[in-house]
Amino acid sequence: MDMRNAVQVKVLLIVSVVVLVFPQLIGAAAFSAKSEAVTLAEWNFDAESPLTTGGTENNIGREMSLTGAAITGYATGNGSGSRAIASNGWNNSEESFWMISLNTAGYESVTLSSRQYGSNTGPRDFKVEYSLDGSIWEEVAHSTITVASNWSSGYLNGAVLPAKANNQEQVFIRWINTSNASVSGGTIGAAGTSRIDDVTVTGLPIGSGENPGIKTIKQARGMIGQEVTVEGIANVDQGRLQSNRFNLYIQDGEAGIQLFHFQPQQFPDVKAGDRIRATGMVSVYSGVTQLEVSEINILAIDQDFTAKNVELPLYQDPALADEYEGQLVTLEGYIRSIGEYFNGGVSIGIINEDFAGVDIRVWESTGIDLTRIEPNTWYEMTGISSKYYSTYQVLPRTNSDFKKLEDQKPPPTTADREYLAEVAAVVDGDTIRLASPVLGATNVRFLNIDTAETYHTVRNDLDQNQMDHGKRAGDHLRTMLKVGDTVVLRLGAEPFDAYGRLLAEVITLDGVNTNWQMVRDGMAVTYFIYPFEEETVQVYSDAVRLAREAQLGIWNSEDPLLEMPFVFRARERGDLLSRYVGNVVTKEYVAPNDYAIIPPEYRVFFTKDQAEGLGYRLLEPADRNTADAEKAVLSTCP
């Protein structure tokens, strides 16, 4: 089968099973179900001739030539039984290149594909250039080629020639060697060989690219379950968000959409700024509207695209946030902390003065260096607006998407801020659910206190004891709070816990601080984690002391709580105690496992550095027996 027939068979297969084969480098409108590309010229060398083996009438008999090196004949090419034109002597000239010329009259969207192979001492680095007169050369964008001793590494697939190459009587194209490096990493040797095979130039008849069936991206987003064709500009390089999948976003003037496929090697290596036409099935996956692509055609390169300025409160309104999905946005906010990559990514919270915020989802594949992002800092941040189920995310592409603001405002704080809210449910002794979100959260974790847990499976007496006291705590809170009650939420300096729950004191309209009341009634213990205010600690400490003296609830000597909730959680999950424990009165602190030395009413929790920064002194028992003896004395007061 000759090369022309092989291409025709491939076109039929692509149209019928909707699969394209496009590895590594930039691609273009090579095939289209509505407007099939025409092969203008091709060279497969199977007949061991440098002349074209197919193409339009104007390009029959065109020759592949070599300058600065020597053609040695023909050798094994790409594929079984295939032949390739071979050469050596690439070390003899400053300018060495393969070259072809062809006629593109009547055609546009001209693209080039080729394969190259090199021996260990053959030339490794090439780029493609074009010329209209054979003397003034311009580089073809995204056409850098790295050759290896295989036919896949040096594969150029559908590189787009600039528009100036359209509709020309004569276009010259060359593959020019750009360095002295050999395939093995040394220097090019005199006997080092270079081969080229499967050279194909295609184009679309002028005017045939018009397609009345193309939908706008906004229209396509509403066509779930239907196959559509859309056009837009890529706002991120393919492979940057997910290296092992075809995963990028395109946008037009009013909307954006994700393009996805499990096999990236089937499609062009799209770059940000490429204008593309994509065909596929519209679906929703993990809350994201996406186009499961079957065909990608690059129409133009280096197109302008811009980010839309948005405010963080936008992400509290799903209807508004969904309008920006897939588009590049720019926003300002405060980044308090930066974690580390885990399972390929990390989420960074960004908030404004009113704690409206969104997750910044950084994928490790972007190469973003997290150490270059400063915590506790205001930033202008650019990224692709997206979501994961109902959680909105912004996806940065590079470190340059994070710009530190010159004018650094004070950090946001929710200390003493109050919000009215309606109780939807009492979950347990220290958690309620709200009818409507406050600062984006519907679950409230009671600030400053901790009650026994009920989430676990009972496996032993300690588990049962924890469960019993946890149920009592929940029942007791339900005597103070009912579904439908309006309450005041008084926030602390940190508005959320690690699970995204709002941290607050919950106060009834009658003025009852239910957090403090739970402690006073012996249903909860204090739980102050840095940062905390000593005056507040003292108010709650008095409540613990009074409850202990009266042996209420968890302090009942006949049925005491046998494990503090934080100790139970560590045991049940197989974790170690991690927080140091301080005495707010004596300003002493102990290691996590020595927590029982500190009386319950005076306990505060922090890291070692935080303790020392607050002026606390490490309490070191004379020996372990002393510590154990002190724990024994306090055994009835865990």
Q: Indicate which residues carry an active-site annotation.
A: 445, 453, 501
Strands 588-590 and 617-618, by their bridges, are parallel
Rounded to whole angstroms, the Cα distance separating 600 from 585 reads 12
The H or E element that residue 380 is part of is strand 377-388
Rounded to whole angstroms, the Cα distance separating 54 from 1 reads 12
Do 576 and 602 meet the contact criterion of CB atoms below 8 Å apart? Answer: no
Rounded to whole angstroms, the Cα distance separating 462 from 480 reads 28
Contacts of 32 (CB under 8 A, 6+ apart): 204, 277, 295, 297
Rounded to whole angstroms, the Cα distance separating 536 from 528 reads 9
Residue ranges in 579-623 assigned as alpha helix (H): 608-613
Taking the CB of residue 539, how many other CB atoms lie within 10 A of it? 15
Q: Which residue has the tokens 């402690």?
A: 519
E strands present in 56-119:
65-67, 70-76, 83-88, 97-102, 107-118
Cis previous bond, 205, omega within 30:
no
Length, in residues, of the chain: 638
E strands present in 301-374:
308-309, 328-335, 345-351, 357-363
Give CB contacts under 8 A, 24+ apart, made by 543-546: 543/516, 543/519, 544/519, 544/600, 544/601, 545/601, 546/520
Taking the CB of residue 15, how many other CB atoms lie within 10 A of it? 14
Query: DSSP state, 354?
Result: T
Tokens of 302: 């280096």
Identity of the amino acid at 250: I
Strands 83-88 and 502-508, by their bridges, are unpaired
The H or E element that residue 422 is part of is strand 418-428
Rounded to whole angstroms, the Cα distance separating 333 from 105 reads 54
Tokens of 163: 């528009």
Rounded to whole angstroms, the Cα distance separating 302 from 256 reads 18
Q: Which residue has the tokens 């724990």?
A: 631
At 472, is the secondary structure helix, strand, or coil? helix
Rounded to whole angstroms, the Cα distance separating 195 from 250 reads 37
Rounded to whole angstroms, the Cα distance separating 469 from 472 reads 5
* C-alpha radius of gyration, the chain, whole number: 34
